[in-house]
Amino acid sequence: MKPGLKELVTAPIGQGALTMPTAAASGENPVCGDRLTFELRVDGANVEELAFRATACPACIAVASCAVSVLVDHRMPESPPFERLRDEVDRRGGLSRFEQHAIALVEDVLRRAFASARAKRTS
C-alpha cells in the first residue's frame, strides 16, 4: 500500500459511530472476511456526517476513510459519486490489484446506505 493510503490506516478519517444517524448499512466480503458499516446523517440533501466501523484489512479502512473525506459536506446525489472516491484513492497512491476488493466493498455498502437515506427522506 502506498504511503498516502497507509496514513489513513494509522489515522482513519471518520472511524467510529454517529449518534442518531439518518441511515446505515453494513456489508461483508465473504472471501476475506472484511466487515464494514457506514452511518450517515443527512440534512435535507446534504451529507452532514459520515462515519464507518470496520473489522477489515488496511486497504478497506483506507478506502472507507477516503469515502468520508470526499462525501461529507456535499449534496447527496441519487447515487454515491464513486468517481470522486476512486480519484481520491488514486491521488493517495492507488491500490494494488490484490487490494481492489476494498473499493468494491466500500461502494456496495455506500450504495445501500445512500438508498436507505433517500428512502427515509421521501417517506
CATH number for the domain harbouring residue 32: 3.90.1010.10
Taking a C-beta distance cutoff of 8 angstroms, is the pair 24, 39 a contact?
A: yes
The answer to whether the Cα torsion of 90, 3, 52, 32 is positive or negative is: positive
When pLDDT is averaged across residues 19-24 and rounded to a whole number, the result is 93
CA atoms within 13 A on the CB side of 10: 7
Q: Is residue 63 scored above 70 in pLDDT?
A: yes
The pLDDT value given to residue 113: 92
When pLDDT is averaged across residues 64-80 and rounded to a whole number, the result is 81
Q: Which tops the pLDDT comparison, 82 or 12? A: 12
- C-alpha–C-alpha distance, residues 80 and 50, integer Å: 12
Range of 57's domain?
Answer: 3-122
* Number of domains forming the structure of the chain: 1
Q: Is residue 81 scored above 80 in pLDDT?
A: no
Residue 77's pLDDT band, with cuts at 50, 70 and 90, is: low
> Which grid cell is 120?
427515509
When pLDDT is averaged across residues 11-37 and rounded to a whole number, the result is 94
Strands 35-43 vs 23-28: parallel, antiparallel or unpaired? antiparallel
Q: What's the pTM? A: 0.92
